[in-house]
């Protein structure tokens, strides 16, 4: 898949239309790990896409780093094993990622999906799963990288923001873009109202992006 993502140019349009299940149908069921730190609404969006046949995948494990993360209850609801790896128990980021990689390999994961994962990853994870780690971020990258992306968009008084799914690289919130979706900013928007509308688009495009990335890998392997 490496050659597919050598460019920083998106492989889907800026405002991505919904794609049919047939268009994004994978030849085999891919094994996913989802990494999340908080509420887990994107975890649920992926689980629903799988349940309805829109994504040919299986969530093999949830990895979460915050003992109080609500995503754990979502995993229980969907009968997905949940593994707590608390970053506070590790002195170095690399050691933390080694523990994550060990769990990912235990579950024989194909793709890693960072869905609200609030930790910076290291080369340990990215080298173990080259070009197979996906992240979703609440802005139209490269604008508003890092934390508080929604608040930054409001503070900058831009008219449009959105969300981006991309392949993860060492530089925070960078790497080749898979899909972006635009969200207009309204005059009376607050961080809460804007974030809620951005999340609607996140839930729509994340399953599509997973399928696009896996399809790209399938085509590369078949060449």
Catalytic site positions: 137
CB 118 within 8 A of CB 88: no
Neighbours of 106 (CB within 10 A): 11
Burial class for 170, CB neighbours closer than 10 Å (0-12, 13-18, 19+): exposed
Place of tokens 């993502």: 5
> What is the token pair recorded at 151?
């608040």
Which residues contact residue 135 at a Cβ distance below 8 angstroms, ignoring those fewer than 6 apart?
114, 117, 165, 166, 167, 168, 173, 175
Cβ atoms of 130 and 176 closer than 8 Å: no
User: Which of 78, 51, 18 is CA-nearest to residue 212?
Assistant: 18
| DSSP letters spanning 68-112 | T-THHHHHHHTT--EEE--GGG-SSHHHHHHHHHHHHHHTT-SEE
Runs of H (alpha helix) within 31-187: 41-51, 71-77, 93-106, 123-128, 149-156
């Amino acid at each position: 898949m490496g050659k597919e993502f050598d460019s920083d140019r998106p492989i889907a349009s800026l405002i991505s239309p919904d794609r049919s299940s047939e268009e994004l149908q994978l030849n085999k069921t891919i094994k996913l790990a989802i990494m999340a730190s908080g509420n887990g609404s994107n975890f649920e969006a992926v689980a629903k896409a799988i349940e309805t046949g829109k994504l040919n995948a299986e969530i093999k494990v949830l990895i979460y780093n915050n003992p109080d993360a609500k995503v754990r209850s979502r995993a229980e609801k969907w009968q997905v094993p949940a593994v707590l790896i608390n970053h506070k128990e590790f002195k170095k980021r690399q050691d933390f990622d080694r523990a994550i990689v060990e769990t990912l390999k235990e579950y024989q994961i194909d793709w890693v999906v960072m869905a609200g994962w609030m930790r910076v990853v290291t080369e340990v994870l990215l080298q173990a799963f080259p070009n197979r780690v996906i992240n979703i971020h609440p802005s139209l990258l490269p604008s508003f990288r890092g934390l508080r992306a929604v608040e930054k968009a409001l503070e900058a008084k831009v008219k449009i923001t959105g969300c981006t799914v991309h392949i993860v690289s060492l530089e925070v919130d960078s790497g080749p873009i898979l899909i972006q979706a635009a969200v207009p900013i309204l005059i009376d928007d607050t961080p809460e109202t804007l974030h809620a509308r951005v999340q609607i688009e996140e839930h729509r495009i994340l399953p599509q992006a997973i399928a696009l990335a896996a399809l790209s890998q399938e085509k590369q392997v078949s060449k």
